[in-house]
Structure 1
Amino acid sequence: MLSTDCRSCENELKKSLYEDKYFETYVKNKGWVKSFIQTTSKQKTTYLITLRKPIFKIKNNIYYDQNFNQFFMPHKFNLPTLHIKKDDLKDEIIDQAQLIKKELINLKSLNYSNLSGWQIITDKAIVKLGKVDIGERVKLLNKITNNLRQNNSNVINLDLRYQQGYVLKI
């Protein structure tokens, strides 16, 4: 029994279950397995395997979990891609990434640079957010993109890093 819907993970585990007598060792060595519990009764053995939950994609089949640890998973999830240097993975930056993901619809990519802050790509915009007032800037971005959706606008370039306003290129 698996905790997440990952058909390719399940198939890989089933194949190993029938071929490998060291199934527990095999499972525990998989980076995408969070926990493994084996219960044995007189008639059967049951396995409860909890998978890590990916929240951001790094590249094909490599993800970040909720603790921002990298891991490989054989299943492809449709998640936003996060581009960030390991040195920049600090609590404040992690919180900002999670806030941006939670607040924005159709988020495709998040890029963080220590020099210029966040650059975001959605289905309707390429946006430079900067490094400060992220919550307020995300609200403003939602307001602008909602107006653009109503007007059926094409993809825009938007720079929200300015104190007194923003730059919009259509």
Structure 2
Amino acid sequence: MLRALLILAAVSALATLPCLIALMLSVGWPRFRFLRRRRVVSDATLSRRDRRRLAKLDKCFGTEPVPQLSTDTVPIEKVAADLRRLRRQRAGIAQRSPIWRAAVEDAYDDRLCLACKRLGITEHLGQLTGVDREIERVRLEGELQAAGIALNGYEAAAP
């Protein structure tokens, strides 16, 4: 009887162990692979635990980590396109939730700061709040348009 129980335990362990390993790998791997491939999450926004997990999964599956683009290598045309897209999204902001509105505002401010940094324009968005921040956005938009970046649509900048 004891021998039958041991055989049953060994067979069930052999049958379930690969399933448990596959389950543990499948819980974290597709999410990180999708995010890494789409570059939605950079290594800076991941927690230490998630970075370690991602490194283990990369090592386990033999994939090389994807190098992250620094902000200096993003073309100014891409930054300008992002600013136009985010500006259009800000225009239709009344129908959206406050969380979505805040996310669009933050993304727009980040891209404004990046464009100003790339063009050597001084900005103070990080230090301001409320109406002062909105006034600073308008000032920066004017400075960027004066520098030749079209923010109002797809039209070319004035020479």
Q: Greater strand share, 1 or 2?
A: 1
TM-score normalised by the chain length of structure 2: 0.26
Higher relative contact order (CA 8 A, sep 6+): 2
TM-score normalised by the chain length of structure 1: 0.25
